[in-house]
């Protein structure tokens, strides 16, 4: 009877036909206002419909605290302020409890779903509405509109969404908390007092379990990439988008540098940055190697570039980058040149004491010829990639095709390559190879052009352009959609700036020396032989016939082709059809490791570190609200801990001991410089994240940093990322995190790398030596190690996710301001050390990963070695490190061993290098980080500690190293150094202490000779 009465009351409370949400509210109201029975009737049962809370079909009793408070209030008596406050607190607690119950039920039934805001460019989910749980609302499918700058620039794609934002991960079993989810059960303590501690704990666990959201696998993410039209860009609606992508196609030696000098002066065109250029260089380095990871990185860079061009009302253009050089300076700056381009100042002709010169990768057919002649002809662009990318972005591809007489083009190729690759022996073979290379690449270009509509490319004769440039203005301006007056002015300035070629005097050199006449005659004979051969060149009779009639040639449309020439679907569409869905967001977690230090009296460094740590805290909080776990590890020396304790940022300290002075007594620096491999190991050992983030200490992160990195790792989980910063110059004393957020996207671009994200489990297998932090060649060494272990795959991103600020002029704007170029301490001993370590690492990388020799970054690294003048600075090092630079094999025995620290590693690895002591960050000598020749092919190269503290030298009884690090030593009357009990002495020169006898007080005795 009681159960029936209760059912009747519930039916009366909930109106007929009420929505589920109204029913839930009615149940909650009954729960709070119905008196509790002392003994529940037998028919009472547990109902898990409300978050698993203990409810029943009978009248649920109210909380004990509420019942007692109600009984305490008698009619007719005034309510005291204390009782009034108690009632208000109980009411507020009950309201919070109701909110938690209702929200969890709605989330469970799918009534509250998040929709991604397409206007947001950082990949952050926000709630923009909630659908009904019944009727047509339940059948409606939420769409996650994918922003072009958030997920590789894909078009709007249907995506199954999670309730991220205010609820994702909030109050989950992992104590990540959340924004707006109230998952810690806040406010429910008072309302559940009468349930008892055990019931309350069960209730909170049930609520957390219900509130934990696991993002479903998004099986529709790759759909936009797999369903593109096979008819090409002609299928785009006319006038749908006025943005064009300009590409210059031509064989090597056909005038790319002059066209670059022409296009860089047009203010309507926007060049790519150096990093975006490098991403396309990686894509086309092996054009037949169809790597989805490499293509995805190029796709991300492409959409960053196109998005920036659209925001500035410009057309993205290859071969449009310039470099500004001040008179009397050796180095030029493409960043300063880009500033001038964006301001449209390259046409004013008032450049006093400065000059502009074309710079960058020209992407000719082929490009990037090197000293390794086996690679010549293997690097060239693919127009089908550009067609596919333009179709994704909804822009139009326009190609300028350069033609030049083959003899003149091959002579130009030969003149540029003559000082580098020619020798007295084999000249005939090498010139013959250049002729064949030119013809094969010209045929490659001709074949690729067949997939383009004739309206989308124009052909020009470079030789005639130099003679009659103004005759090309009208037709070329109409094709590029730029003003004729500006293009005419650009032609005039480019012709004036072009270096004049002086005719050479007739040579009287002895036989065996090839003059221009001899080479030209040889080229003509080889071209005639190829024309008469069984496979004559397919290009370019139709071009030359039409070029004889007009300046800018548009090829006719074949009658059977129509307006929509069919083309083979891009290979990435086929891969996307079978690609696995992105990983769940809950699978992504980060450990961010940095190396802060006490800056002393340097206020700019102190402020930079404070802003960096605060920015990491901001970004981590936003990521946590999205269900992404982020932890911060600070690898520090003991003397820096007191300074960092004042920073209001939660950080896990990992103490270091070994530094530059440990390895080389000649080092003198006011701040101890740590080693890169030890900082990464500190993050590996102290962190728990799936991915490791390493950045320089002066690099701040914008709020969406971790979210964007998580998005990237969801799609390409095993591909490392290098995030390129932007530079804010001339900041004032009030610059902070909020200032960086406000100025995001307005700073200078940066040509280097200083922030990486990669799987944390890679750290013990990275081939990294004792590279010094804060010196040149750090990024080169890090990039080499990551490219080697990842199979030459890396995404280079620059969507303004990291930043750096300076009070004066930026060094990226004025390369002469860089310490690496003008400070003797960095151009001498410090750079020499890193150059030697890089050389040893490169030798070990090639021995372990032979395929790295064919990676695009291998050549880039060689250029960096040349730029930092490693060959000249290496003379500052002792003999053993010169051996590392010259890659000579160090014979086992004596004081040296074939390791990356020959003398120091010999003390702990044995004469043959067979012993592998565990890694110990607190050891005075970094024996556990030595990598010897016998270790190659047998990773990990850093041996994890078995347990407990490891001594300074493996295999020897040494003093325990205190957490305070290295102590100063004093000399006693016998000439020995005395250190406090339990300490390790390191002399001013940085030499580590051996295990030596102790004094009666337990102090260590060191002979004076050790200093």
Task: Please spell the DSSP secondary structure of 569-621, one letter per residue.
Answer: PPHHHHHHHHPPPPPPGGG-EEEEEE-----TT-HHHHHHHHHHHHHHHHHHH
The more confident residue out of 651 and 814 is: 651
Beta strands in 831-927 (DSSP E): none
Distance CA 310, CA 390 (A): 13
Q: Which residues pair with 654 in a beta bridge?
A: 635
Mean pLDDT over 11-21 rounds to: 48
pLDDT category, 118, cuts 50, 70, 90?
A: very low
Which tens digits make up the pLDDT trace of 19-55?
A: 555 555 555 455 445 444 444 444 444 333 333 334 3
Task: Give counts: helices (H), strands (E), the chain.
Answer: 34, 20
Q: Measured at the alpha carbon of residue 981, what is the angle toward residues 978 and 983, in degrees to the nearest 5?
A: 80
The more confident residue out of 1009 and 80 is: 80
Distance CA 727, CA 613 (A): 17
Is a pLDDT exceeding 50 seen at residue 126? no
- Cβ-based neighbour number of residue 353 at 10 Å: 9
Distance CA 415, CA 417 (A): 6
Distance CA 544, CA 560 (A): 23
CA distances to 248, 298, 348, 437 from 357, in Å: 18, 26, 15, 28
- Cβ-based neighbour number of residue 140 at 10 Å: 11
Mode of pairing for the β-strands spanning 721-723 and 755-759: antiparallel
User: Encoding tokens for residue 233?
Assistant: 């860009």
As a whole number of angstroms, the longest Cα–Cα distance in the chain is: 127
Give Cβ neighbours of residue 666 (< 8 Å, ≥ 6 apart).
829
Distance CA 525, CA 486 (A): 43
Is a pLDDT exceeding 70 seen at residue 623? yes
Is a pLDDT exceeding 70 seen at residue 138? no
Report the phi/psi class of residue 701: left, alpha or beta, with left for phi > 0 and alpha for psi in -120 to 50: beta
Q: Any idea what DSSP says for residue 829?
A: I
Mode of pairing for the β-strands spanning 795-797 and 721-723: parallel
Instruction: Using alpha carbons, select from 770, 790, 754, 939 the residue that is nearest to residue 841.
Output: 770
Which residue's entry shows tokens 């009397």?
Answer: 328
Instruction: Using alpha carbons, select from 724, 704, 713, 734 the residue that is nearest to residue 615.
Output: 704
Mode of pairing for the β-strands spanning 1004-1006 and 977-979: antiparallel
- The pLDDT value given to residue 869: 82
- The pLDDT value given to residue 170: 35
Contact 835, 781 (CB under 8 A): no
DSSP run (H or E) holding 109: helix 81-109
Mean pLDDT over 232-260 rounds to: 78
Instruction: Using alpha carbons, select from 262, 190, 665, 236 the residue that is nearest to residue 477.
Output: 262
Phi first, then psi: what are they for 69, rounded to 5°?
-65, -35
Contact 901, 664 (CB under 8 A): no
Contact 259, 364 (CB under 8 A): no
Task: Find the range with the poorest average confidence among 329-333, 713-717, 961-965.
Answer: 961-965
User: Encoding tokens for residue 106?
Assistant: 């709605």
Mean pLDDT over 427-439 rounds to: 78
Is a pLDDT exceeding 60 seen at residue 176? no
Beta strands in 766-819 (DSSP E): 795-797, 802-805
Is a pLDDT exceeding 60 seen at residue 190? no
Could you give the 3-state DSSP secondary structure of residue 692? strand
Cα atoms found within 13 Å of the Cα of residue 938, Cβ hemisphere only: 8
Core vs surface per residue 242-260: b (16+ CB within 10 A) or e: ebbbbbbbbbbbbbbbbbb
pLDDT category, 1011, cuts 50, 70, 90?
A: very low
- The pLDDT value given to residue 180: 40
Distance CA 915, CA 675 (A): 22
Mean pLDDT over 939-959 rounds to: 56
Contact 830, 876 (CB under 8 A): no
Contact 193, 153 (CB under 8 A): no
Which tens digits make up the pLDDT trace of 815-866?
A: 666 665 666 666 678 888 999 999 999 999 999 999 999 899 998 898 888 8
Which tens digits make up the pLDDT trace of 684-718?
A: 999 999 999 999 999 999 999 999 999 999 999 99
- The pLDDT value given to residue 662: 76
Distance CA 680, CA 399 (A): 45
Distance of CA 287 to the CA centre of its chain: 23
Mean pLDDT over 97-114 rounds to: 47
- Cβ-based neighbour number of residue 72 at 10 Å: 11
Residues of the chain with pLDDT > 70: what percent? 64
Which residue's entry shows tokens 């799609």?
Answer: 715
Q: Any idea what DSSP says for residue 217?
A: P
pLDDT category, 1003, cuts 50, 70, 90?
A: very low
Phi first, then psi: what are they for 263, rounded to 5°?
-75, -30
Which residue's entry shows tokens 């992404």?
Answer: 628
- The pLDDT value given to residue 620: 95
Mean pLDDT, the chain, rounded, equals 74
Core vs surface per residue 597-609: b (16+ CB within 10 A) or e: bbbeeeeebebbb
Mean pLDDT over 396-408 rounds to: 95
- The pLDDT value given to residue 281: 94
Which tens digits make up the pLDDT trace of 558-578?
A: 765 555 556 688 999 999 999
Mutual angle of helices 879-886 and 831-848, in 10-degree steps: 40
Which tens digits make up the pLDDT trace of 855-897?
A: 999 988 988 888 888 888 888 888 888 888 876 656 655 567 7
Q: What's 267-315 look like in SS3?
A: CCEECCCHHHHHHHHHHHHCCCCCCHHHHHHHHHHHHHHHHHHHHCCCE
Which tens digits make up the pLDDT trace of 505-536?
A: 555 544 445 678 888 898 999 999 999 988 88
Threshold 0.75, pTM exceeds: no
Distance of CA 420 to the CA centre of its chain: 34
Instruction: Using alpha carbons, select from 913, 884, 914 the residue that is nearest to residue 900.
Output: 884
Contact 622, 164 (CB under 8 A): no
Q: Measured at the alpha carbon of residue 564, what is the angle toward residues 240 and 309, in degrees to the nearest 5?
A: 35
Instruction: Using alpha carbons, select from 120, 137, 128, 212 the residue that is nearest to residue 172.
Output: 212
Instruction: Using alpha carbons, select from 196, 254, 616, 225 the residue that is nearest to residue 389.
Output: 225
Which residue's entry shows tokens 């999205």?
Answer: 626
Give Cβ neighbours of residue 135 (< 8 Å, ≥ 6 apart).
none
- The pLDDT value given to residue 563: 52
Kindly write down the DSSP assignment for every residue of 191-215, as one continuous string.
GGGGG-HHHHHHHHHHHHHHH---P
Task: Find the range with the poorest average confidence among 238-247, 436-445, 580-589, 788-797.
Answer: 238-247
- The pLDDT value given to residue 8: 45
């Amino acid at each position: 009877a009681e159960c029936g009465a209760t059912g009747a009351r519930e039916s009366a409370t909930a109106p007929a036909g009420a929505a589920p949400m109204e029913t839930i509210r009615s149940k909650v109201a009954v729960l709070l206002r119905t008196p509790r029975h002392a003994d529940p009737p037998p028919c009472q049962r547990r109902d898990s419909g409300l978050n698993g809370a203990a409810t029943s079909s009978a009248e649920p009793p109210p909380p004990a605290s509420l019942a007692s408070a109600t009984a305490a209030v008698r009619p007719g008596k005034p309510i005291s302020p204390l009782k009034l406050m108690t009632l208000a607190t109980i009411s507020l607690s009950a309201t919070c409890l109701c909110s938690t119950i209702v929200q969890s039920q709605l989330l469970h039934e799918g009534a509250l779903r998040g929709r991604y805001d397409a206007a947001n460019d950082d990949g952050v989910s926000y709630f923009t509405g909630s659908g009904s749980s019944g009727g047509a609302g339940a059948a409606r499918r939420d769409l996650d509109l994918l922003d072009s700058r958030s997920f590789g620039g894909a078009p709007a794609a249907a995506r199954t969404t999670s309730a991220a934002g205010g609820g994702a991960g909030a109050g989950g079993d992992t104590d990540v908390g959340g924004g707006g989810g109230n998952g810690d059960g806040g406010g429910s303590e008072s309302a559940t007092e009468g349930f008892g501690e055990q019931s309350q704990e069960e209730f909170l666990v049930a609520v957390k379990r219900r509130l934990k959201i696991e993002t479903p696998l998004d099986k529709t993410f790759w759909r936009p990439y797999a369903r593109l039209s096979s008819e090409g860009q002609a299928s785009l609606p006319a006038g749908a988008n006025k943005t064009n992508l300009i590409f210059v196609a031509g064989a090597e030696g056909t005038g790319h540098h002059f066209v670059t000098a022409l296009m860089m002066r047009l203010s309507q065109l926007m060049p790519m940055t150096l990093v975006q250029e490098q991403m396309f260089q990686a894509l086309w380095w092996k054009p037949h190697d169809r790597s989805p990871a490499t293509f995805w990185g190029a796709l991300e860079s492409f959409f960053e570039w196109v998005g920036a061009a659209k925001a500035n009302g410009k057309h993205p253009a290859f071969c449009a980058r310039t470099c500004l050089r001040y008179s009397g300076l050796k180095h030029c700056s493409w960043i300063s040149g880009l500033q001038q381009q964006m301001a449209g100042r390259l046409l004013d002709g008032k450049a006093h004491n400065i000059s502009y010169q074309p710079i960058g990768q020209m992407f000719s057919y082929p490009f990037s010829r090197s000293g390794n002649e086996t690679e010549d002809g293997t690097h060239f662009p693919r127009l089908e990639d550009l067609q596919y990318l333009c179709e994704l972005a909804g822009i139009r591809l326009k190609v300028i095709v350069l033609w030049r007489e083959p003899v003149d083009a091959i002579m130009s190729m030969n003149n540029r390559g003559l000082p580098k690759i020619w020798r007295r022996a084999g000249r005939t073979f090498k010139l013959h190879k250049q002729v064949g290379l030119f013809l094969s690449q010209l045929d490659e270009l001709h074949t690729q052009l067949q997939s383009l509509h004739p309206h989308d490319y124009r052909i020009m004769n470079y030789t005639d352009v130099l003679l009659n440039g103004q005759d090309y203005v009208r037709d070329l301006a109409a094709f590029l959609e730029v003003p004729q007056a500006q293009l005419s002015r650009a032609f005039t300035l480019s012709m004036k700036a072009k270096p004049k070629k002086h005719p050479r005097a007739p040579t009287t050199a002895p036989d065996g020396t090839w003059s221009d006449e001899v080479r030209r005659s040889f080229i003509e004979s080889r071209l005639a032989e190829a024309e008469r051969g069984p496979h004559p060149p397919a290009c370019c009779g139709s071009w030359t016939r039409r070029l004889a009639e007009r300046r800018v040639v548009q090829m006719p449309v074949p009658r059977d082709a129509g307006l929509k020439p069919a083309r083979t679907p891009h290979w990435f569409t086929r891969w996307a059809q079978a690609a696995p869905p992105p990983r769940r967001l809950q699978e992504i977690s980060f450990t961010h490791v940095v190396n802060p230090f006490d800056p002393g009296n340097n206020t700019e460094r102190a402020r930079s570190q404070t802003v960096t740590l605060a920015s990491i805290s901001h970004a981590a909080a936003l990521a946590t609200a999205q269900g992404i776990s982020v932890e911060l590890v600070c690898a520090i020396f003991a003397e820096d801990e007191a300074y960092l304790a004042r920073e209001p940022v939660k950080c896990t300290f990992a103490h270091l001991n070994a530094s530059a002075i440990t390895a080389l007594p000649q080092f003198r620096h006011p701040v101890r410089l740590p080693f890169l491999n030890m900082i990464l190991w500190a993050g590996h050992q102290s962190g728990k994240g799936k991915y490791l983030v390493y950045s320089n200490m002066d690099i701040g992160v914008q709020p969406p940093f971790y979210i964007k990195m998580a998005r990237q790792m969801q799609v390409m989980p095993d591909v490392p990322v290098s995030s390129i910063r932007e530079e804010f110059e001339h900041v004032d004393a009030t610059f902070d995190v909020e200032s960086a957020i406000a100025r995001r996207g307005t700073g200078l671009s940066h040509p280097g790398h200083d922030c990486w994200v990669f799987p944390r489990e890679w750290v013990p297998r990275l081939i990294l030596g004792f590279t010094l932090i804060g010196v040149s060649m750090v990024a080169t060494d890090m990039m080499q190690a990551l490219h080697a272990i990842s199979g030459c795959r890396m995404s280079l991103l620059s969507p303004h996710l990291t930043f750096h600020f300076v009070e004066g002029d930026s060094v990226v704007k004025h390369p002469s301001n860089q310490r690496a170029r003008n400070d003797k301490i960095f151009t001498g001993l410090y750079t020499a050390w890193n150059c030697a370590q890089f050389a040893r690492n490169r030798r070990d990388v090639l021995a372990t990963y032979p395929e790295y020799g064919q990676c695009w970054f291998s050549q880039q690294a060689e250029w960096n070695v040349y730029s930092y003048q490693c060959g000249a600075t290496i003379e500052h090092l002792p003999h053993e490190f010169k051996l590392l630079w010259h890659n000579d094999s160090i014979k086992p025995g004596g004081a040296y061993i074939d390791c990356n620290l020959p003398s120091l590693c010999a003390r702990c690895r044995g004469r043959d290098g067979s012993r592998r002591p565990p890694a110990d960050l607190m050891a005075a000598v970094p024996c556990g980080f030595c990598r010897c020749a016998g270790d190659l092919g047998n990773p990990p190269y850093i041996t994890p500690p078995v347990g407990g503290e490891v001594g300074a030298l493996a295999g020897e009884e040494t003093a325990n190293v205190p957490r305070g690090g290295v102590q100063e030593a004093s000399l006693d009357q016998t000439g020995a150094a005395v250190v406090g009990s339990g300490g390790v002495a390191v002399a001013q020169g940085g030499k580590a202490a051996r295990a030596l006898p102790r004094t009666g007080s337990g102090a260590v005795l060191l002979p004076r000779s050790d200093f």
